[in-house]
Amino acid sequence: MPVLDVRDLKAYYITDRYGRISRVRAVDEVSFQVHKNEIYGIAGESGCGKSSLLKVVSGLSKPPLRILDGEVIYKFDDNELNMLSLKDDKQRRQLRGTHISSIPQASMNVLNPVKRIEKSFQDFVSVHFEINNKAQFNEMVREHLSALGLDWDIMHAYPHQLSGGMRQRVIIALATILKPDIIFADEPTTALDVVVQRGVVQLIKKINEEQHNTIIMVTHDMAIHANLCDRLAIMYAGKIVEEADAHTIFHDAKHPYTTMLLKSLPKIGDESERESAPGAPPSLVDVPPGCRFHPRCPKATELCCKEEPQLIEIEKGHRVACFHEGGSR
Ligand SMILES: Nc1ncnc2c1ncn2[C@@H]1O[C@H](COP(=O)(O)OP(=O)(O)O)[C@@H](O)[C@H]1O
Ligand SMILES: [Mg+2]
C-alpha cells in the first residue's frame, strides 16, 4: 500500500520577460510510489529538478513554478487525498501539520539568529498545536530530543553558538517533533563535512526506525543514498530514468546515466581512476529531442535521438527508460 502515489506530474517554471515566454521543464511526467516506513531516495545532478519535484509533491510550490498536469495522492489510514486538488493554503497547512513535514534545501541557515532554539521550537509547534502548558511542552521536547540522542542544553543556545552539523540536527528535530507520517528532506547533508554527514544520516535512520514514518530523501550524493535508502529514483533533466531498490541500483544499474553517476563514486580497493560524468545536463528550456540523455550517452543510436523511451518495468520493482534495456516508445 503506497502512502504517496505521484502520477504523471508535470510542473514547469513559466516566466514572461517582456513578452518572451520561457518554460523550464523542471518536472516532466514523473510517476512514482512510496510505501509506508521506507526511505525513498531521489538522486541526480544539480538542476535536474529534484527540489522542484519535492516542492510540488509537498504542496510548497509557488509561481513561477506551475503545475500543469498530474496527481499527488496521499493515503493515511483510510483517508485518501489529492494534494493538487486542495483548494486553499489552510487545507495544505493542515495536511502539512498533521501528516507531512519538510526539511528544505539550505535549511540550516533558516533558524532565527536572534532567538534561542527553544523559541524556534515553541514557534514551530504552536503553528500546528496549541501549547497551553509549558511543562507539557517541555516534556514533549525533552522526550523527542532524548529519543534522537540530542542534548537538552541546545534549547538554550543561539544558532551561531552551534556548529553547522548541530544546526542541521536541530532543524531535523524541529521537522520531526510532531511525528509526521512523511518527511521530505532536500539535501540535508550537502553543506556538511563527511564526518558530520555520517551523524546526520544516522539521525535520519533513527527517526525512520523510532517513528515508523516514511522518508523521501533528495541528494545528488550517491554515497549518502547508498547508506540510507531502501529504494532509489534517478532523475535526469526533469524525468525519472531509473528506479529500483538500492541494492539493484548499486549492483545492477541498467540506465547508462545511472552507470555514469556510479562511476564517479570511489570504491575501497579500486585503484582505477574515478571518472566524472562527461558533458553537462541539458538546459531544461530547450531539452534535446528523443531521449534527453542521448547527447551524453555512449550507447545512443538514431532511435534515441528521435523517440523518447518510456519508463517501463523490466523486472519486478525495477523501472528503466532506455531503448537498450527493453524500453518502448
Ligand atoms: N524560480 C525559478 N525560475 C526559473 N527556473 C528555475 C527556478 N528555480 C529553479 N529553476 C530551474 O529549474 C530546474 C530544476 O531546478 P531544481 O529543482 O532546483 O533542481 P535540483 O534540485 O535537482 O538541483 C533548473 O534548471 C533550475 O535552473
Ligand atoms: Mg535542489
pLDDT in tens, 245-276: 999 999 999 999 999 999 877 666 666 666 66
Domain assignment present for 194:
yes
Domain assignment present for 245:
yes
Q: Distance between CA 12 and CA 22 in Å, rounded?
A: 9
Return the pLDDT at 278. 74
Q: Give the global pTM.
A: 0.94
Cell of 101: 513535514
Return the pLDDT at 87. 79
Q: Distance between CA 225 and CA 219 in Å, rounded?
A: 8
179-201 tens-digit pLDDT: 999 999 999 998 888 888 999 99
For 311-324, b/e burial (b = at least 16 CB within 10 A) is: beeeeeebbbbbbb
What's the CATH code of the domain at 303? 3.40.50.300
Contact between residue 9 and residue 70 where contact means Cβ atoms under 8 Å apart: yes
Q: The cell 529514483 sits on which residue?
A: 233
**Measured over all CA atoms, what is the biggest interatomic distance in the chain, rounded to whole angstroms?**
69
Q: The cell 530547450 sits on which residue?
A: 286
Amino acid at 56: V
Return the pLDDT at 267. 66
Domain assignment present for 307:
yes
Contact between residue 222 and residue 229 where contact means Cβ atoms under 8 Å apart: no
Domain assignment present for 120:
no
Total tally of structural domains belonging to the chain:
1
DSSP conformational letter for 308: P
Q: Whose CA is nearest to atom 1 of ligand 1?
A: 64
Phi, psi of 154 (to 5 degrees): -60, -20
The closest ligand to the CA of 53 turns out to be 1
Cell of 200: 546526520
Give the residues of the chain that fall short of pLDDT 50: none
Domain assignment present for 319:
yes
- Classify burial at 275, counting beta carbons within 10 Å of its beta carbon; exposed 0-12, middle 13-18, buried 19 or more: exposed
Q: Whose CA is nearest to atom 6 of ligand 1?
A: 13
Domain assignment present for 210:
yes
Q: Could you tell me which of 328, 163, 312 has the C-alpha nearest to residue 244? A: 312
49 lines ligand 1 (CB under 6 A): yes
Return the pLDDT at 86. 87
Contact between residue 221 and residue 190 where contact means Cβ atoms under 8 Å apart: yes
109-127 tens-digit pLDDT: 788 999 999 999 998 888 7
Domain assignment present for 152:
no
Distance linking the first and last C-alpha atoms of the chain: 29
104 lines ligand 1 (CB under 6 A): no
Percent of the chain with pLDDT over 70: 95
Provide the residue range defining the domain that includes 319. Answer: 2-99+180-325
